[in-house]
């Protein structure tokens, strides 16, 4: 996520410059035909453009709305992960009891660290790439990757989980397909043992199982947004309609600008670029908000949020070496 | 669902080509009357079209919004099925206990396999056809069926459930009307026995019953979307208004294009096709998104999701022969 | 609900024909004044109409959206009733236990049949008439009643509940104001007895009480939609604005059509009818969707859904004489 | 709430007549200047008006949408109160047990009557006035108060609660700031005593406490809508923009009507009134829907709903003298 | 929040005056060029402006909608805090029991006061500044700060919590990063002790832990809105498009006003200011609603709500010196 007041206009223009060039070319062609080939009949009536504009505006607006909803829901889910994680820390500390304080502390640490391992596995899974994501396939997005680092792309999952799990558990988990899922199953397994050994009476045990169920809900909701894109049929017509609109735009503007006098028609080029830029930028911003876990500058900051949870939980355990929060790089917080 | 970046323009044009032909014919008629019968009075004022366009755009936009909502809710419900299934696996393993480990494993397997049978029965029920669905009644949708396979249409329910249920249970279930409903009832029946036999104390038993209740909720919500279409009164006026709009469109464009000079009026044909195509495509995309369980290319991928759940559950049981995930065919994942 | 692909255009035109006649008359008057009285000043500028059109379109669109929401929420509530009913059947069977199997079966049947009685009482209550409902007050809706039957209007509540309740309970319930409410109270009363007699331990008892509480929620939500209409202040301005719009419409079209030449002005009549029909149909469809429990063709099919629940529950009890599902009559399912 | 099919046009015109007068005056001034001072330059281009109209329409539409949402949420909350109240009645009757039937009945009555007292205190609190409410400050609303009575304004809270509480409790409650809050606290206090005395085992006790928590939720949600108006910054620009629009409207219409010939310009006055009336009525209806507990004709009928609950609860207690439902006066139900 | 009927027009104009000045300057430049440099070609066709206006209106409307949603959600969350706090007070009083009444009262007070400390820590955390907030960075907002006081900016957290916590707990809490989080953990710690000592049986204990979990949910939801702004990519294009629109506006109006005669073109200046003011005010109001916890006049009144909760809780404890509610200053309630 961007943590500044706004993107700088310079950055934004750079990010959209390819479309600006393309628009300039597309606008120049009809003007040349009009002026030099004298094809005045290509100056089509504005009402046609206006009608297509209405449909394109609807579908682009709709896409932006749904992209926003996807991002906001993703943030809400991860907010829920923060809340459930704090509750997990609290319940671990006060529900899991042992006559031996050292033993109790060890149990608490195990259950909390395995939870942090789950967060780690989950954020690695969510930052993997999908065939419909744009951050690595579109040139302007790849360029922008220079401004920030995606921890999940430069680190190794097993290395990242090593300080959090026993060697046996680490190996077991790495052998599984969906590691986050099996980590929760491991938590449940330990709770069963605690329940059988009497460190956790059944009522409190069931409460904690329900909290694990809540973690599955959070994970599954994140995966839903990750694995189910903005429906491609809507994304497709969005692209087709916007394209159609900006291609026809200069033809519609010719007549209007021709009225300005001899050279007026040439103003078609800058104004096609301006109007076209507005619509293609709207589309490009929507597209870059669609997938909140793809590693783009507009992602939900799950690396940073996981760290925040880790800090809260370690403070609950009254640990000493609390790691520092993650800070934004060039206003981009991941 | 389509898993690509977008539908190819070629596929999309092919899929909408029947309406393009029809639009071309509908647009040519008024031009012929205008040019050769010299009926200039048929060139009606644009404001009429604009007004109908507003109403048609509202109702088409509304339909697309609600179709999207239906699809997204369907995906959310099935995301919930994933979450509850994982919780089911976890609770089966840690709540159902037996002194004899082999016996315990057998119990776990029975409860997990019957759950997979429920998923199977449910997806077969959801992929049955309804009188308002389009995938088999519209020619362009039937053509598109060549690109992918609907497992529930080519497989047999009883064959698919055979490895998951005992012969007695299979026969019992196949004799019932709503098989998914009665499968959950069977799960509950076994839980009762376990509770009576002391393998499942009452507190944990009630928790698991609540999870079965949650399965009924997921199933019922899927059935709601399946059995209650986008209200046909709204679908009807949508079709009537869009039809009215594209029929009147060339009459409204005649005057505008006539201003372009001698042959300008002929441009009415391509531009009616272009504008009409935008509106009918919007409508056609909405229609093909309306019913997320009909077996169309834009369906929720419930076959594939059921497989994902199966993989997760079998990994929880630490089984060996885990089936592979289902892969998309021509970018279509079912 | 309509279960077809759409309403036939013929039925739809018949259903809206009164407004078409009225529009034709309202459009002819200004044309006559313009042509024969030569009152050319009555051809008011289009911008006025466009402005009123914007406000009318907003408020009509808003009403359709909210009517849709009301209907969809009603369907969701009744979907919830299906889910809770299945859970009720499951819990009755596995929670209520008796050493004597015959006695146990009798208890199960009582609790399930009384639940079906509740469904019956509820659907009778929901299909009573309210002062703001349209199905019996508007001529076009009364005409359409010929195509289907509303069971709750032709049957008697006490006769319908007779096979489901003991004679004493039936008399008690018929003496109450809100019968559905008191039926749930009777269920709770029996559960108390079962709890006191030890056929239902307290933990399972409380779970079942919570399910009864859920039934009260479903019932209360249905009653909310039944007893609280789309706010009449919004419905009122909707009617006023649409009326104003279609009355002014021909005055605004006069000038536009007058430009078409000598008889062009007469085209004002058919085009006022067409445009006016679009707006009044939008309004009429919204109005007929507003109240999802009034007995209209666009109602939620609560008679049929109650039957589906009855089938599921009786199959759970492994009964023999399962009633058949209700089928649509002329594509209308109630 | 209005329980009729709609507000009569006559009532509606009367209710909005002050704005009609004002609009007529505001429209006449520019016409006089145009005609008699010959200031033709004041006829400003329509596009300016159209642009302001777009912004005003958006913000007015937004306000109506949110007002509707506030009202609908308020109704939903009170629907929830109905549901929880019925559950309260059911649980009181079947959870609170005493060996002595008379004593048991007395306990039930106390708990149910105190609940009705809570409803009473709550509705009195919700019908108090707030600085942003309109029902007493706007002349047209005060006039309309003649058509109905607000029970909470003409009755006394202590008198209304007298039959429902013991004298001691009544005095205690009247000494508190938020009486509804402290009434729930009293319920909880009695439950504690019942639990300590063994008339209510802990499991059922906790269930009933959760129901009291639910009552706090309902109360708090009602208070949220009561104490937090539609944000005044949005309400403010709504008023400013609508005002700006209707003031500029006649200036924009002058040119359009001037084209109609010699006296055409005078039509600016009626059409400014018509168009202006549409926009100001939209605003006035929105305003009168904003605050659903202020005592206006468009309020949620909380007096009547409280009575309905009272009837249901007393029928559950099998009482004899059940009060009659509250009926609408001039179609207004409070 | 503003508690008046509306903002005074004077205040509003003052608050937006900087943009009015800027708009006047931006509008004068093209008029001068048109009139004195005779650059008539700069009068660009209106359709261009209209198109950009559509996109700007959509994105500005969208921002206002989402800002409203953020504010309303924030209010809903804090409404939830009110409800949970009352439930906390009720459960503390009736669940935590001690044979010694004095000791019991002490326990109750501790648990209630620590809860008020949590409210205090939370509101201090929420009123800290973020890099994207506007209340301190925009001149017009800083000016408006003269009308009210933000308690969290003028008071000290430790001083404010001193009367509510023991010295040891205060020191412990002040050493932590997220104090609110650790205060809830302290509550849970005391509950564990009470449970171990038998003053709180396990069933009631688990209920109260769940209430603490609810507090974490409320806190985390508030933090979500605090720490995740309206996405900056949308905020950025909003500013770019509105800017583009108002810069081009006078160029588009030139032609329209030029038609009014010799000096008509000068009317471009006031009307650019009026129309531009409408759009920039819409944007400015949206911006000032975006962040409901930043300390602006449009904030959720969390200081005042915390006081309300404190009053309710102390009345539940039957204390004497209840503090007075916080009153609005210049109609601004914080």
Mutate to test the interface with C, among B40, B42, B43, B47 (most CBs of C within 10 A): B47
> Closest-CA residue in chain A for B89?
A185
* D neighbours by CB contacts (3+ pairs under 8 Å): C, E
Q: Which residue shows structure tokens 């939500």?
A: C221
Q: What is the DSSP-derived secondary structure letter of residue A318?
A: T
Nearest-Cα distance to chain A for B136, in Å, is 19
Q: Is the dihedral of CA C6, C274, B253, A265 positive or negative?
A: negative
Rounded-to-integer distance, Cα D121 and Cα D213, Å: 17
CB-based contact C76 B52, cutoff 8 Å: no
- Nearest residue, CB atoms, C41 vs list D12, D260, D275: D260
Strand partners, D332: D2, D329
Q: Diameter of chain D by CA atoms?
A: 95
pLDDT tens, A112-145? 999 999 999 999 999 999 999 999 999 999 999 9
Chain-centroid distance, C-alpha E260: 46
Would you state the pLDDT for residue A263? 85
Rounded-to-integer distance, Cα C159 and Cα C121, Å: 11
Question: How far from C166 is each of C169, C170, C175, D173, CA to CA, in Å?
Answer: 5, 6, 14, 45
Question: How far from E331 is each of A103, C255, D134, E326, CA to CA, in Å?
Answer: 58, 53, 17, 12
Quickly list DSSP for E192-227: HHHHHHTSS-HHHHHHHHHHHHHHHHHHHHHHHHHH
List the structure tokens of A154: 């430069």
How many other C-beta atoms are found inside a 10 Å radius of the C-beta of residue D55?
A: 22
Rounded-to-integer distance, Cα C272 and Cα C31, Å: 11
pLDDT tens, C287-296? 999 999 999 9
pLDDT tens, D161-218? 999 999 999 999 999 999 999 999 999 999 999 999 999 999 999 999 999 999 999 9
> Closest-CA residue in chain B for A216?
B83
- Nearest residue, CB atoms, A256 vs list E45, E178, E229: E45
Question: How far from A274 is each of A260, A267, A280, B315, CA to CA, in Å?
Answer: 18, 11, 10, 55
Nearest-Cα distance to chain E for D236, in Å, is 5
CB-based contact A204 E202, cutoff 8 Å: yes
How many other C-beta atoms are found inside a 10 Å radius of the C-beta of residue B325?
A: 12
- Nearest residue, CB atoms, E58 vs list A4, A57, A80: A57
Please write down the long-range contacts of A196-200, taking CB distance under 8 Å and 24 or more positions apart. A196/B97, A199/A96, A199/A97, A199/A98, A199/A107, A200/A95, A200/A96, A200/A97
pLDDT tens, A158-188? 999 999 999 999 999 999 999 999 999 999 9
- Secondary structure class of C318 (helix, strand, coil): coil
Would you state the pLDDT for residue C55? 86
Would you state the pLDDT for residue B144? 94
Residues 6+ away with beta carbon under 8 Å from C99: none
Model ipTM over 0.90: yes
Q: Using CB atoms within 10 Å of the CB of residue D171, give its burial: 0 to 12 exposed, 13 to 18 middle, 19+ buried.
A: exposed
Q: Tell me the chain E residues in contact with residue D196 when contact means C-beta distances shorter than 8 Å.
A: 97
How many other C-beta atoms are found inside a 10 Å radius of the C-beta of residue B318?
A: 11
Residue D255 has pLDDT above 90, yes or no: no
pLDDT tens, C260-269? 877 889 999 9
Nearest-Cα distance to chain C for D43, in Å, is 14
Please write down the long-range contacts of A192-199, taking CB distance under 8 Å and 24 or more positions apart. A192/B94, A194/A96, A194/A107, A196/B97, A199/A96, A199/A97, A199/A98, A199/A107
CB-based contact C224 D282, cutoff 8 Å: no
Strand partners, D329: D332
* Of E199, E115, E104, E140, nearest in space to E22 by CA: E140
Whether A contacts B, i.e. 3 or more CB pairs less than 8 A apart, is yes
Would you state the pLDDT for residue E261? 79
pLDDT band at A93 (very low <50, low <70, confident <90, very high): very high
Per-residue pLDDT of chain E (334 residues; tens, 9 = 90+): 999 989 999 999 999 999 999 999 999 999 999 999 988 889 999 888 988 988 888 888 999 999 999 999 999 999 999 999 999 999 999 999 999 999 999 999 999 999 999 999 999 999 999 999 999 999 999 999 999 999 999 999 999 999 999 999 999 999 999 999 999 999 999 999 999 999 999 999 999 999 999 999 999 999 999 999 999 999 999 999 999 999 999 999 998 898 887 788 999 999 999 999 999 999 999 999 999 999 999 999 999 999 999 999 999 999 999 999 999 999 999 9
Would you state the pLDDT for residue C318? 95
Q: Tell me the chain B residues in contact with residue A48 when contact means C-beta distances shorter than 8 Å.
A: 253, 256, 271, 274-275
Q: Tell me the chain B residues in contact with residue C50 when contact means C-beta distances shorter than 8 Å.
A: 47
Q: Which residue shows structure tokens 């004041």?
A: D42
CB B182 within 8 A of CB B212: no
pLDDT tens, E159-196? 999 999 999 999 999 999 999 999 999 999 999 999 99
Residues 6+ away with beta carbon under 8 Å from C76: B224
Q: Tell me the chain B residues in contact with residue C89 when contact means C-beta distances shorter than 8 Å.
A: 185
Q: Tell me the chain B residues in contact with residue C282 when contact means C-beta distances shorter than 8 Å.
A: 55, 59, 237
Q: Tell me the chain D residues in contact with residue E274 when contact means C-beta distances shorter than 8 Å.
A: 48, 52, 244, 248
Q: Number of CB pairs < 8 Å for A and B?
A: 170
List the structure tokens of D271: 């059409």
Q: Tell me the chain E residues in contact with residue D219 when contact means C-beta distances shorter than 8 Å.
A: 83
> Closest-CA residue in chain E for D217?
E83
Mutate to test the interface with C, among D10, D209, D265, D271 (most CBs of C within 10 A): D271
Residue D264 has pLDDT above 90, yes or no: no
Rounded-to-integer distance, Cα C173 and Cα E252, Å: 73
CB C104 within 8 A of CB C257: no
Rounded-to-integer distance, Cα E278 and Cα E272, Å: 10
Strand partners, A332: A2, A329
- Nearest residue, CB atoms, E41 vs list A87, A264, A312: A264
Rounded-to-integer distance, Cα B241 and Cα C282, Å: 10
* E neighbours by CB contacts (3+ pairs under 8 Å): A, D
Would you state the pLDDT for residue A206? 97
Nearest-Cα distance to chain D for E177, in Å, is 31
Q: Tell me the chain E residues in contact with residue A46 when contact means C-beta distances shorter than 8 Å.
A: 47
Rounded-to-integer distance, Cα B202 and Cα C203, Å: 8
Q: What is the DSSP-derived secondary structure letter of residue D332?
A: B
- Nearest residue, CB atoms, B278 vs list A41, A191, A241: A241
Rounded-to-integer distance, Cα A239 and Cα A219, Å: 31
CB A317 within 8 A of CB E186: no
Whether A contacts C, i.e. 3 or more CB pairs less than 8 A apart, is no
Number of helices and strands in chain D (H, E): 13, 0
> Closest-CA residue in chain B for C271?
B48
Rounded-to-integer distance, Cα E300 and Cα E304, Å: 9
CB-based contact B91 A236, cutoff 8 Å: no
Q: Which residue shows structure tokens 């085009």?
A: C271
Rounded-to-integer distance, Cα E290 and Cα E309, Å: 25
- Nearest residue, CB atoms, E289 vs list D43, D223, D231: D231
CB-based contact D5 C55, cutoff 8 Å: no
Strand partners, C2: C332
> Closest-CA residue in chain D for E246?
D51
> Closest-CA residue in chain D for C287?
D5
pLDDT tens, A200-229? 999 999 999 999 999 999 999 999 999 999
Nearest-Cα distance to chain D for C203, in Å, is 7
What is the average pLDDT score of chain C?
A: 95
CB E290 within 8 A of CB E62: no
What is the average pLDDT score of chain A?
A: 95
Q: Which residue shows structure tokens 């209700």?
A: C326
List the structure tokens of D256: 């359009």
CB-based contact D312 C178, cutoff 8 Å: yes
pLDDT tens, E64-86? 999 999 999 999 999 999 999 99
Q: Measured between alpha carbons, how far apart are the two ends of chain B, in Å?
A: 6
* Of B102, B45, B77, B137, nearest in space to B300 by CA: B77
CB-based contact D228 E271, cutoff 8 Å: no
Mutate to test the interface with E, among D220, D221, D246 (most CBs of E within 10 A): D220
Residue D222 has pLDDT above 90, yes or no: yes
pLDDT band at C139 (very low <50, low <70, confident <90, very high): very high
- Nearest residue, CB atoms, B206 vs list C203, C257, C316: C203
Chain-centroid distance, C-alpha A10: 23
Per-residue pLDDT of chain B (334 residues; tens, 9 = 90+): 999 989 999 999 999 999 999 999 999 999 999 999 988 889 999 888 988 988 888 888 999 999 999 999 999 999 999 999 999 999 999 999 999 999 999 999 999 999 999 999 999 999 999 999 999 999 999 999 999 999 999 999 999 999 999 999 999 999 999 999 999 999 999 999 999 999 999 999 999 999 999 999 999 999 999 999 999 999 999 999 999 999 999 999 998 898 888 788 999 999 999 999 999 999 999 999 999 999 999 999 999 999 999 999 999 999 999 999 999 999 999 9
How many other C-beta atoms are found inside a 10 Å radius of the C-beta of residue E180?
A: 25
CB-based contact E189 A5, cutoff 8 Å: no
Mutate to test the interface with A, among B86, B267, B297 (most CBs of A within 10 A): B86
Would you state the pLDDT for residue D220? 98
Report chain C's C-alpha Rg in angstroms.
27
* C neighbours by CB contacts (3+ pairs under 8 Å): B, D
Q: Measured between alpha carbons, how far apart are the two ends of chain D, in Å?
A: 6
Q: Which sequence spans correspond to the domains of chain C?
A: 9-316
Nearest-Cα distance to chain C for B274, in Å, is 23
CB-based contact C236 D6, cutoff 8 Å: yes
Q: Tell me the chain E residues in contact with residue A316 when contact means C-beta distances shorter than 8 Å.
A: 181-182, 185
> Closest-CA residue in chain D for C232?
D6
CB A293 within 8 A of CB A302: yes
CB-based contact D61 C66, cutoff 8 Å: no
SS in 3 state form for D80-109?
HHHHHHHHHHHHHHHHCCCCCHHHHHHHHH
pLDDT band at C51 (very low <50, low <70, confident <90, very high): confident
Kindly provide the residue ranges of all beta strands, DSSP E only, lying in E38-82, ordered along the sequence: none
Q: Tell me the chain D residues in contact with residue E79 when contact means C-beta distances shorter than 8 Å.
A: 220-221, 223-224
């Amino acid at each position: 996520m961007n943590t500044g007041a706004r993107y700088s206009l310079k950055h934004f223009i750079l990010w959209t410059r390819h479309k600006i060039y393309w628009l300039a070319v597309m606008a120049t062609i009809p003007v040349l035909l009009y002026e030099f080939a004298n094809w005045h009949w290509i100056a089509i009536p504005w009402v046609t453009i206006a009608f297509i504009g209405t449909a394109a505006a609807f579908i682009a607006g709709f896409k932006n709305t749904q992209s926003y909803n996807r991002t906001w829901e993703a943030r809400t889910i991860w907010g829920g992960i923060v809340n459930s994680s704090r509750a997990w820390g609290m319940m671990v500390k006060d529900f899991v009891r042992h006559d031996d304080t050292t033993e109790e502390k060890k149990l608490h640490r195990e259950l909390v660290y395995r939870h942090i391992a789950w967060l780690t596995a989950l954020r690695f899974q969510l930052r993997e790439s999908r065939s419909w994501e744009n951050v690595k396939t579109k040139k302007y997005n790849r360029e922008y990757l220079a401004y920030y680092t995606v921890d999940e792309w430069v680190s190794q999952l097993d290395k990242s989980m090593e300080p959090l799990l026993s060697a046996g558990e680490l190996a077991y988990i790495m052998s599984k397909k969906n590691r986050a899922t099996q980590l929760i199953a491991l938590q449940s397994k330990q709770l069963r043992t605690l329940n059988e050994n009497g460190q956790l009476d059944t009522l409190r045990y069931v409460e904690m199982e329900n909290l694990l169920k809540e973690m599955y809900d959070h994970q599954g909701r994140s995966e839903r947004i990750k694995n189910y894109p903005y429906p491609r049929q809507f994304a497709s017509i969005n692209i087709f309609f916007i394209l159609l609109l900006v291609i026809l735009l200069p033809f519609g503007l010719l007549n209007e600008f021709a009225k300005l006098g001899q050279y007026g028609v040439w103003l078609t080029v800058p104004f096609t670029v301006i109007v076209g830029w507005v619509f293609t930028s709207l589309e490009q911003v929507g597209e870059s908000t669609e997938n909140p876990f793809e590693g783009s500058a507009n992602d939900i900051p799950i690396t940073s949020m996981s760290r925040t949870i880790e800090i809260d939980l370690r403070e609950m355990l009254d640990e000493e070496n609390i790691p520092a929060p993650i800070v934004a790089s060039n206003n981009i917080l991941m």
